[in-house]
Structure 1
Amino acid sequence: MNFATLDLNLLRVLDAILAAGSTTKAGERLGVSQSAVSNALNRLRHALGDDLFVRRGNQLVPTDFAVSIKDGLREELNRLESLLSRNDHFDPRQASETFKIAASDFFAELLMPGLGGVLNRKAPKMVAQLVDLVPENYVESLERYHADLALIPDTDSPDWISREVLFRSSFMVVGRVDNPFLAQIEDGTELPMETFCALSHVLFSPEGKLAAMGDAALAKVGRKRHVAMTLPVFSGVCRVVSASDLVALVPSQLARKFAPEFGLKVLAPPFEIEPVNIIAIWHRRSDANPMAKWMRQQVFDLLKPLENR
């Protein structure tokens, strides 16, 4: 192959066929006819010395060579797009793009209200979307939900991920202020271990699990608790606590936010729970995207102060 004479537009065609699985759908993606895609494919076959696709019934099946270059080709096209858009001017007042954030409902309470105010003042035509995280694989949220940003507990991540450390979140116990089992315990003090283990608990778990970090920490000191209920949203956890004698372990920032609204007493747990480091992650292909950079900075500015709450 002579790379110096290769028409780079052909690589966009190859990427589209690999993604769409047919020349017709690839043409629709690129805004060209099916015959134009077929002609480009024939030129690529000649240039690269490989069939690239073989027909099986009505399907185009990529050859081993085509499969081997699929991910690398997409990455290089993304890198080229990012390079060429690096100097694009971004005017938030005129921008009308959509920015999608994957995160738990913690951020529905502690990010989205503030972000709504920012967008209303600075970028009134933009749209922010909050979607849930992919269970068990938070990094996958970027790909599966086409999210521009994911807000997650710190974890190992692949090379194609960029990251920003945001804040640490510790845990507090919440119970309703007139819970008779907490009557003799002052707000802001430590809940005794015997009381903590004797009470029934509500657990935040989008997947419906009956154990979490608090249970692992309890096990280290040879104790356990009874989880009576699980809910997929923190607001629901606090609402149940406010209407019953159940208690819950929740992030300290949420505990302090919900305490006045739901009439909750906030207490320190009687054992050590390692704080969770919350980070933002995004695809490196968006590192230099002016709109994405601007939106990420608005999110960072709203969330980093949570470190001190």
Structure 2
Amino acid sequence: MNFQSFDLNLLRILDSLLILRNTTRVGEAVGLSQPAVSAALRRLRDVLGDPILVREGNLLVPTDFALSLQEPVHSALLMLEDALSGGGGFDPARLDRSFVIAASDYFQEMLIPKLAASLSAAAPNVRLKVLPPRSRDLAAMLTSGSFDLALSIDVETPGWITRMPVFRASNAVVARRGHPYLGGLQWGDRLPLDVFCGLPHVIFSVNEEFAHMEDAALARLDRSRHVQLSVAGYHGVGRAVAESDLLGVLPTRFALSVAKMAGISVFRLPFDEPLIGMFLYWRERETRSRELSWLRNMIVEQLAPFDETNAPVTDAEFSLASRE
């Protein structure tokens, strides 16, 4: 490879590809279209003489050569960012500060166990506080200075709030184990539409609304459901379902993760709906902060395995959770 003619802009795309492993999400992260990212991947393959990412079923998997590049490329970009920002060398091990993240119990369940281990190893003096969002008004939460970062679904924000995609997820229906109206159904089966509409529901909401995207999907089918209860936590949905005949809708992998503890069964929705995008938000003026950039990258890397864009929840995952 002739390094003199190498387009260094490709390194930023390579770094994102090795973390996110999806051309659409990389495009969202770096501000390019999906075709532009695919073209950049082809250029990387030509220049480096390696496929970089290969498809295995629905997954894009890095080659051994690509994995050998991941750490040095990522470290080099961080060093370059640090140099251009005018600061000295950034070493997480010497970092001594607190971060506050707004995140629902859904994100806490999926993120915190791995993030805690990574922080302990890389930055033992960092203190991380994770609090539930007070509302869907992320701009107000970030403006107040009470939070450094926020994890949420796709919401409208002003121009001085920026974001990056972290993963996309599906939803599933949950019901108490041994529910009298669900006899004969196996975990992972599609719940019949008449059952979904005929039983009362509990939903997660941080405001006064009693409608979700499932209600829009039902309206397109000229159907509706009765929402009897709204709670401000995903675990609250599980607890309400476990002690009643209510149905609930939860992110699928979250539901499978807590099913044994909550005493619930998990089924597929009776209709198709698009995957829900999850995003990491922060103040635009802090985009170049070395400390926050380091934490953002760590969060994105920890959450990447939960992305269902190329790895939907399988029947085997439902079956395994049902036996626990």
Using the size of structure 2 for normalisation, the TM-score is 0.65
Instruction: Verify the 8 A CA contact 2:136 2:206 in the aligned structure 1.
Output: no
The aligned residue for residue 272 of structure 2 is 272
Give me the whole-angstrom Cα distance separating, in 2, the residues matched to 1:235 and 1:117: 23
Which structure 2 residues correspond to residues 8-87 of structure 1 after superposition, within 5 A? 86-87=86-87
SS in 1 for 2:270: coil
- 2:158 corresponds to 1:158: yes
The aligned residue for residue 62 of structure 1 is none
- 2:184 corresponds to 1:189: no
Give me the whole-angstrom Cα distance separating, in 2, the residues matched to 1:145 and 1:274: 33
Q: Percent identity?
A: 34
Q: Deviations over 1:35-79 (max 9, x none)?
A: xxxxxxxxxxxxxxxxxxxxxxxxxxxxxxxxxxxxxxxxxxxxx
Which structure 2 residues correspond to residues 81-160 of structure 1 after superposition, within 5 A? 86-160=86-160
The aligned residue for residue 180 of structure 1 is 180
Give me the whole-angstrom Cα distance separating, in 1, the residues matched to 2:219 and 2:130: 34
What letter is aligned with 2:179? N
The aligned residue for residue 199 of structure 2 is 199
Instruction: Verify the 8 A CA contact 2:162 2:284 in the aligned structure 1.
Output: yes
Give me the whole-angstrom Cα distance separating, in 2, the residues matched to 1:176 and 1:184: 14
The aligned residue for residue 20 of structure 2 is none
Describe the shift of the 1:93–1:195 C-alpha distance in structure 2 as closer, same or farther (beyond 3 A). Answer: same
Which structure 2 residues correspond to residues 221-300 of structure 1 after superposition, within 5 A? 221-300=221-300
The aligned residue for residue 64 of structure 2 is none
Q: Deviations over 1:117-164 (max 9, x none)?
A: 211222111111122334242233211243221112224443323321
Give me the whole-angstrom Cα distance separating, in 2, the residues matched to 1:188 and 1:86: 53
The aligned residue for residue 211 of structure 2 is 211
Give me the whole-angstrom Cα distance separating, in 1, the residues matched to 2:208 and 2:145: 21
Q: Deviations over 1:13-45 (max 9, x none)?
A: xxxxxxxxxxxxxxxxxxxxxxxxxxxxxxxxx
Give me the whole-angstrom Cα distance separating, in 2, the residues matched to 1:277 and 1:86: 35
The aligned residue for residue 7 of structure 2 is none
What letter is aligned with 1:147? F
SS in 1 for 2:271: coil
Structure 2 gaps, min length 5:
1-81, 314-324
Describe the shift of the 1:301–1:255 C-alpha distance in structure 2 as closer, same or farther (beyond 3 A). Answer: same
SS in 2 for 1:211: coil
Describe the shift of the 1:273–1:254 C-alpha distance in structure 2 as closer, same or farther (beyond 3 A). Answer: same
Shift in Å, 1:174: 0.7
Give me the whole-angstrom Cα distance separating, in 1, the residues matched to 2:253 and 2:234: 12
Give me the whole-angstrom Cα distance separating, in 2, the residues matched to 1:110 and 1:86: 35
Instruction: Verify the 8 A CA contact 1:93 1:122 in the aligned structure 2.
Output: yes
Give me the whole-angstrom Cα distance separating, in 2, the residues matched to 1:94 and 1:266: 44
SS in 2 for 1:238: helix
Q: Deviations over 1:233-275 (max 9, x none)?
A: 0011111212222110111121111122223221111123232
Instruction: Verify the 8 A CA contact 1:102 1:142 in the aligned structure 2.
Output: no
Describe the shift of the 1:263–1:134 C-alpha distance in structure 2 as closer, same or farther (beyond 3 A). Answer: closer
Instruction: Verify the 8 A CA contact 2:101 2:147 in the aligned structure 1.
Output: yes
Give me the whole-angstrom Cα distance separating, in 1, the residues matched to 2:87 and 2:201: 53
